[in-house]
């Protein structure tokens, strides 16, 4: 095992990550590798020492990478992990890197319903399982049957049933070294017109209610029980509130949108400033849904409030 992943087959050094995220922000990966099949993934995992930090990068649509970059090994699944197929019994088989919108459309094309909600979530299935992504009244946990996970420690593939993944609102029990490589979803039979109509409706709703065409990572905070984070941020008078090149969206207050001058540090600072102000005026401590990679300058607001899930 090596503490210098640069010596492992296919690993590149100092690779910019910003273009691989929806914020288009953040510095480079110290080491970066694209793996196209399980054999290569296992080889990488077996070669790299436990001391090296590791990040699985999906579409970077729920991720804020530090301007200093990520000081470890970033792994991106491609190749066979992008595959999506629908079998004769109506199960959708999707690799860990398959895009959720593509899964939604493949199911619809096969005349299968249920996965339409994925059309509006611009991440991978692997990122979706980790986050238990959802919207429009559905979430991954309702449709996932099982997932194949390769864990960093053993490098072995384990099939886990949905009940074993601890899925709850934007949460799973997957550890940082657990990599979702394959998934199987159930679907309901229906006419493909019905499914296509729902996909159109969801796409229309998103265009009307979310700031499309901007750099963002969707909802930054989880909704507290019985309320909506966006409503609380709006009520606190924070629409348009900004730090540097990042502002609370005027259209949807749970979206923090970045302009071309933004830094990842601006996003970080704004997240904690919004959180403190919402707590002061609304009495609710919001929890970030977005995931962080690398290290950030402390703004002073981070330690306020209750402990948070990372």
Q: Name the token pair of 220.
A: 């930054």
Q: Is 219 a catalytic residue?
A: yes
* Cβ–Cβ < 8 Å for 55, 21: no
Least Cβ distance, residue 257 to ligand FAD (angstroms): 10
The residue among 180 and 232 lying less far from ligand FAD, judged by its C-beta, is: 180
Q: Which of 61, 66, 141, 219 is catalytic?
A: 219
Footprint of ligand FAD on 206-225 (CB under 6 A): 210, 216-218
Footprint of ligand FAD on 94-113 (CB under 6 A): 96
Lookup result for tokens 């059309």:
119
Candidate list 11, 57, 103, 115; residue touching ligand FAD; CB under 6 A: 57
Candidate list 17, 26, 28, 61; residue touching ligand FAD; CB under 6 A: 61
Residue 194 CA to its chain's centroid (Å): 28
Q: Is 1 helix (H, G, I), strand (E, B) or coil?
A: coil
Distance set, CA 35 to CA 13, 29, 56, 181 (Å): 15, 15, 11, 11
Q: Is 77 helix (H, G, I), strand (E, B) or coil?
A: strand
Footprint of ligand FAD on 3-22 (CB under 6 A): 22
Q: Name the token pair of 214.
A: 């901007």
Q: Which of 105, 170, 243, 275 is catalytic?
A: 170
* Cβ–Cβ < 8 Å for 67, 28: no
Candidate list 5, 69, 114, 122; residue touching ligand FAD; CB under 6 A: 122
Stretch of residues binding ligand FAD (CB under 6 A), selected from 5-13, 108-116, 124-132, 272-280? 124-132
Q: Is 195 a catalytic residue?
A: no
Q: Is 273 helix (H, G, I), strand (E, B) or coil?
A: helix
The binding track of 278-297 with respect to ligand FAD, each residue x by CB under 6 A or -, is -------------x------
Q: Is 54 helix (H, G, I), strand (E, B) or coil?
A: strand
Residue 45 touches ligand FAD, criterion: CB under 6 A: no
Stretch of residues binding ligand FAD (CB under 6 A), selected from 35-43, 114-122, 229-237, 263-271? 114-122
Candidate list 5, 26, 28, 60; residue touching ligand FAD; CB under 6 A: 60
Going by DSSP bridges, is the β-strand pair 84-86/70-77 parallel, antiparallel, or unpaired? unpaired
Q: Please return the burial class of 101, using the count of CB atoms within 10 Å of its CB with bins 0-12, 13-18 and 19+.
A: middle
Residues that bind ligand FAD (CB under 6 A): 22, 55-63, 77, 96, 120-124, 126-128, 130-131, 133-135, 174, 178-180, 210, 216-218, 291
């Amino acid at each position: 095992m090596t503490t210098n992943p640069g010596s492992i087959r296919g690993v590149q050094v100092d690779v910019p990550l910003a273009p691989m995220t929806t914020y288009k922000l953040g510095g480079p990966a110290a080491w970066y590798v694209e793996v196209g099949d399980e054999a290569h993934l296992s080889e990488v995992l077996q070669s790299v020492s436990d001391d090296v930090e590791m990040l699985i990068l999906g579409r970077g649509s729920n991720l804020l990478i530090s301007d200093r970059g990520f000081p470890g090994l970033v792994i991106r699944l491609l190749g066979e992990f992008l595959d999506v197929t629908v079998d004769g019994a109506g199960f959708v088989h999707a690799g860990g890197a398959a895009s959720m919108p593509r899964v939604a459309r493949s199911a619809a094309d096969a005349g299968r319903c249920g996965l339409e909600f994925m059309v509006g979530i611009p991440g991978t299935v692997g990122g979706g399982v980790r986050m238990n992504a959802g919207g429009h009244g559905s979430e991954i946990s309702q449709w996932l049957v099982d997932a194949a996970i390769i864990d960093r420690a053993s490098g072995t593939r384990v099939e886990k049933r949905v009940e074993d993944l601890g899925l709850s609102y934007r949460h799973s029990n997957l550890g940082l070294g657990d990599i979702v490589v394959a998934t199987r979803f159930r679907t309901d039979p229906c006419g493909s017109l019905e499914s296509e109509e729902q996909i159109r409706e969801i796409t229309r709703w998103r265009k009307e209610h979310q700031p499309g065409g901007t750099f963002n990572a969707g909802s930054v905070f989880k909704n507290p029980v019985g309320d909506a984070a966006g409503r609380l941020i709006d009520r606190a008078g924070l629409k348009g509130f900004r730090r540097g090149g990042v502002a609370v969206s005027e259209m949807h207050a749970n979206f923090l949108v970045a302009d071309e001058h933004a830094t990842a540090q601006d996003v970080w600072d704004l997240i904690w400033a919004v959180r403190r102000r919402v707590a002061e005026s609304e009495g609710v401590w919001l929890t970030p849904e977005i995931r962080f990679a690398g290290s950030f300058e402390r703004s002073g607001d981070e330690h306020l409030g209750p402990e948070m899930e990372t």
